[in-house]
């Protein structure tokens, strides 16, 4: 009981949405502590105070993400987006390499492999991904949870198949980190944006690389990628960071001031507790849909629920103060820690009308 009360009291202290917000798969709500940190960051700039604390926020955010991902902070690079991080991985592949992807995965996960122009990119249905790894496959790139419908990738089987054929894995946790426990150390590369289930502002994405960097080249290196950044502001960087920080892009300081506080909240609440909360609400919605005669797309164990044929209801639901998404004609509802059973019931009542 004490744990439940602590979870609920923490959430109530941080969130007070003015509507029924069921659209975290698009972007998460900002906690109160994050909003306060963003204001403070702006005031630091406006008042001409030193920016030291904002640079400290970058490192603190990296450290919290590393703990959530289950890896040392030395393996975590800070960048602006999933697409930018994917491009680093794509650029490291030899010409002619085969990259295996899931059909209709999110564009940021797959497009940089296509734009290389000299890679063999093969897409198969998500449920066939593990069995489709073959000799000669260099990399398997996939989202841990699909953006469109919430389906989970079956990572244990995929990792086993990749190891059996000498392939590497690149997993995007953007639709999973924050509600699904991560084990980034089990993959060669992982990435996650922070503005969805991790509740941060836009403009940050963390890339986890192997201890030996996995053959990546720091193509976007600047002074922040140096082992001693403040001694490396002029001329070529003489010594790149000995950690994954060599892949950092000059940070959006306001963003990381907020990301730090958001990640700290997720860590404080505990991902397993968030997962239990989110999945209970998703299952409540699935059960209610059955009572209304609707069948969602199969995505067991996911906090994202997509319902075929109901996407056109999104505008009227928004006018009624219920925020969901329309994805390819499907109504997509996504449930997170600030949602309640009353939110689920309100959506079901609206759909019944």
For residue 328, what pLDDT is reported? 85
pTM: 0.96
Q: Which residues of the chain are modeled with pLDDT < 70?
A: 1-4
Q: How many CA atoms lie within 13 A of 248 on its CB side?
A: 28
The pLDDT, as a whole number, for residue 4 is 65
pLDDT at 1: 40
Q: What is the pLDDT of residue 2?
A: 47
User: Can you give the residue ranges of every domain in the chain?
Assistant: 2-29+269-352, 41-268
The topology under which CATH files domain 2-29+269-352 is 3.90.1150
pLDDT digits (tens, 9 = 90+) for 307-332: 999 999 999 999 999 999 999 899 99
What CATH fold (topology level) applies to the domain 41-268? Answer: 3.40.640
């Amino acid at each position: 009981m004490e744990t439940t009360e602590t979870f609920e009291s923490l959430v109530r202290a941080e969130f007070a949405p003015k509507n029924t917000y069921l659209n975290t798969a698009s972007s998460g709500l900002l906690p109160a502590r994050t909003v306060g940190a963003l204001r403070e960051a702006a005031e630091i700039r406006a008042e001409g105070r030193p920016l030291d604390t904002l640079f400290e926020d970058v490192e603190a955010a990296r450290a919290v993400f590393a703990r959530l991902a289950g890896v040392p902070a030395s393996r975590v690079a800070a960048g602006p987006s999933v697409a930018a991080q994917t491009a680093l991985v794509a650029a490291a592949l030899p010409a002619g390499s085969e990259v295996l992807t899931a059909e209709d995965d999110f564009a940021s996960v797959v497009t940089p492999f296509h734009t290389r122009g000299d890679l063999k990119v093969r897409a198969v249905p998500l449920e066939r991904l593990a069995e489709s790894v073959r000799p000669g496959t260099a990399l398997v790139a996939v989202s841990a949870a699909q953006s469109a419908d919430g389906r989970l990738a079956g990572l244990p089987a995929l990792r086993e198949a990749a190891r059996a054929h000498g392939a590497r894995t690149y997993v995007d946790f953007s639709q999973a980190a924050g509600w699904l426990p991560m084990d980034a150390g089990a993959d060669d590369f992982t990435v996650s944006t922070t503005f969805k289930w991790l509740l941060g502002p836009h403009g940050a994405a963390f890339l986890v690389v192997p201890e030996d960097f996995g053959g990546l080249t720091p193509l976007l290196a600047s002074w922040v990628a140096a082992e001693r950044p403040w001694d490396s502001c002029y001329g070529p960087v003489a010594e790149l960071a000995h950690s994954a920080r060599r892949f950092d892009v000059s940070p959006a300081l306001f963003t990381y001031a907020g990301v730090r506080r958001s990640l700290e909240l997720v860590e404080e609440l505990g991902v397993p507790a968030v997962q239990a909360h989110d999945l209970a609400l998703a299952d409540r919605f699935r059960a209610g849909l059955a009572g209304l005669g609707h069948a969602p797309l199969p995505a067991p164990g996911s906090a994202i629920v997509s319902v075929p044929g109901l996407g056109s209801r999104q505008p009227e639901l928004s006018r009624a103060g219920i925020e969901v998404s329309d994805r390819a004609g499907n109504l997509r509802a996504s449930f997170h820690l600030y949602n309640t059973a009353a939110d689920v019931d309100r959506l079901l009542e609206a759909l019944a009308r």
